[in-house]
Amino acid sequence: MGEGLIGLGAYYLVDSVATSAGVRLIFYDPSRGLFVEVEDREYKPYFYIPHPPTHEDEIIVRAIGGKASIAEKIDLFTGEVRRLTRVEVENPKNLKRLSSMFKISWEGDIPFSLGYIYDHNLVFGVPYHIEGGIIKPAYRLTDDLKGDFEERFGDIRASDPEKYRLIEKFFTLCSQPIPEIPLKDLGIREEVSSEDLYLTFTISRVTNLPISSAYTDRRVSIWIRSILNAYLRSRNILIPKPEELMRGGVEKRIQGGLTMPPESGIYFNTVVLDFESLYPSLIDAYNLSYETIDCNHSECSANTVPSVNHHVCKLRRGVYSILIGALKDLRIRWFKPLSKDKSIPDEERRLADATAKLLKLILVASYGVTVRTYGLAQPALAESITAYGRYALKEAWRMAVEAGLHPIYGDTDSLFLDDPPDSGVTKLIESVKRRLKLDLAVDKRYSICVLPRAMKSYLGIMKDGTADLKGLTAIKSNSPRFIQKVFGKCVNELKDVRNWGEFELAKDRILKIFNEAVAELRYGKVPIDDLAYTVRLHFNPFEKDETLHQPYQCAVQLLDLGIKVHKGDVISFVKVKPFNYKGRTFTVKPTSLIDGFHEVNVEDYIKNLTSALNQVFKPMGITFHEGEGKPLTLTDFL
């Protein structure tokens, strides 16, 4: 991680507050343990309207006591300078309301106190010198950190200078020391751990939000909006209205990632390759941004996005692409490797890991906000991101086949290879980097991997015996503990399996576990609580008049006992032998109302256990028969 340098008398900017007279900046002096306030009464809240203003606009400006002047801003979409009318008002509390009085206005929804920070190129959470009312940065990098930075990022300077500048800025900000600050004085009452304090300052520095907001508001869309707005203001680019950002698009369903159908079966020595930060990497590598999608340059129209009716600008570097690319490179090239560097202290590694996860959270959301977040959504951009994602997976699959490798499953950003040679994996990674401009890396190595026919579900046993499970019925949170325990025992028998001979022995042990579980059910030796299903209600139970599904059968019984049950509540029930309840046939009872095991519908539980196990073990050549509990091999089944 390293440490930045701060001089004596440095003050950390922690908050900004709009006042009736202007803006009050709040700093923290760690050397004295005091908060220091600096007020600027000259700065006034403002927004923009078209120039020249209409007669109606002029009347409204006079009516609200505004002060109009001519301003020049850069249009995000054309890159051209626009003349606008800047309207200053006195009271920042009325900024949004007053701007909405005009037919067309911009930036009235930017909080006044944040707008001040953006306009004065200040950043929350970092140290400053205050000399005669003038605020100057008090942070820089040590010579060692400068060297480390150039080693990791120097190659970007020539190829992408603006991204390089941004990475350097974020790197410098994140490298500054974290002061021990009494957060209770900022309205944060609970105890805050050192790691939470560190993350709060990191969020504040990256997103340019006050310390208190960084701690309390964990909406990632707010973070991304602030990152984008701060950058646009710093470049004198007019922040577009939400409808302008949509570029004429309408909210609609966006086609997501691609899933390649799995080759169902059991595999030994499976290597899983992952595109590192796929969507953020696509945004960066293919210059995907609000203004670069479907630009107006005729020479760019041939630079089409695969499988969708859009093209990408080749003449301008996209704002969103630069921002997301900088954060992505900072995570992948610095914080992620640092978190695994055993040559540095454990505490430093732990904080690097926390920062890597924080940046990943922002990066993962960088696509989602373009789909549905008001003020950040643009359907054309969202469509282009996922289209390039599907293209990348298909191309990587094709390249793997061409290289003589055997891909067996692909899902969005992951590619499963059956027993590939290390040299083949290395060459594929290099080919993807060269042809697709994307980073493909080994994510997992399974000693044994089971792929059911169903997509988005699999079982893998890592080299250390750890089970990696996804999308399987038996591990769903609402499945009874009984089914989860039996499944866990069966999976545990695979942890030391490395070949077909060892697998054949494991099959016998798995069949035995199933037989014993069925016997426990038939003889009533399973605790009632282990048979309970836990389900969240998605409807108000008292509003459902049609045939009641099992969770609502349970809810009705609880309501009749005077127990309040509402939408969103989690309820627990056991499957029982069918019984008549108020003229309807019910098949479950609340767990708390079960009189004894004699009520349990044993055959139903055997059926559910069999189904859950067959999802995973049938591709292995093991099929469980739900009738008498007699297990059959795949040969017998066929």
Tell me the pLDDT tens digit for each residue of 579-590. Answer: 998 888 999 999
Mean pLDDT confidence for 542-557: 77
| Extended beta strands in 99-154, E state | 127-131, 134-137, 139-140
- Name the residue with tokens 């969507």: 279
In whole angstroms, how large is the CA radius of gyration of the chain?
30
Contact 82, 72 (CB under 8 A): yes
Most confident of 136-150, 603-617, 620-634: 136-150
Tell me the pLDDT tens digit for each residue of 379-432. Answer: 999 999 999 999 999 999 999 999 999 999 999 999 999 999 999 999 999 999
pLDDT of 124 above 50: yes
Predicted local distance difference test score (pLDDT) of residue 633: 39
**More confident site: 623 or 61:** 61
Looking at every residue in the chain, the average pLDDT score rounds to: 90
- Lookup: tokens for 116: 């001040």
pLDDT of 32 above 80: yes
Alpha-carbon distance 312 to 207, whole Å? 27
Number of CB atoms found within 10 A of residue 166's CB? 20
Q: Which of 39, 108, 73, 88 has the alpha carbon at shortest distance from 234?
A: 73
Peptide bond just before 52 cis, omega within 30 deg: yes
Beta bridge partners of 304: 311
**More confident site: 619 or 459:** 459
Number of CB atoms found within 10 A of residue 63's CB? 10
Alpha-carbon distance 310 to 317, whole Å? 17
Contact 542, 536 (CB under 8 A): no
Tell me the pLDDT tens digit for each residue of 507-534. Answer: 889 888 988 999 999 999 999 999 999 9
- pLDDT bin (cut points 50, 70, 90) of residue 638 is very low
- The helix/strand/coil state of 493 is coil
Phi, psi at 229, each rounded to 5°: -65, -40
Predicted local distance difference test score (pLDDT) of residue 530: 94
Predicted local distance difference test score (pLDDT) of residue 248: 86
- Name the residue with tokens 């109606």: 56
Alpha-carbon distance 571 to 551, whole Å? 7
Q: Which of 604, 613, 590 has the alpha carbon at shortest distance from 493?
A: 613
Over pLDDT 70: what percentage of the chain? 95
Mean pLDDT confidence for 537-556: 76
Contact 445, 269 (CB under 8 A): yes
Predicted local distance difference test score (pLDDT) of residue 605: 92
- pLDDT bin (cut points 50, 70, 90) of residue 637 is very low
* pTM for the whole structure: 0.86
Mean pLDDT confidence for 229-244: 96
Predicted local distance difference test score (pLDDT) of residue 546: 61
Q: Which of 83, 88, 58, 56 has the alpha carbon at shortest distance from 70?
A: 83
- pLDDT bin (cut points 50, 70, 90) of residue 237 is very high
Tell me the pLDDT tens digit for each residue of 309-366. Answer: 999 999 999 999 999 999 999 999 999 999 999 999 998 899 999 999 999 999 999 9
Mean pLDDT confidence for 265-274: 93
Predicted local distance difference test score (pLDDT) of residue 154: 94
pLDDT of 369 above 90: yes
pLDDT of 460 above 80: yes
Alpha-carbon distance 377 to 392, whole Å? 23
pLDDT of 616 above 50: yes
Which 8-state DSSP code applies to residue 331?
I
Predicted local distance difference test score (pLDDT) of residue 434: 96
pLDDT of 189 above 80: no
Number of CB atoms found within 10 A of residue 65's CB? 11
The lowest-confidence range among 74-88, 175-189, 481-495 is 175-189
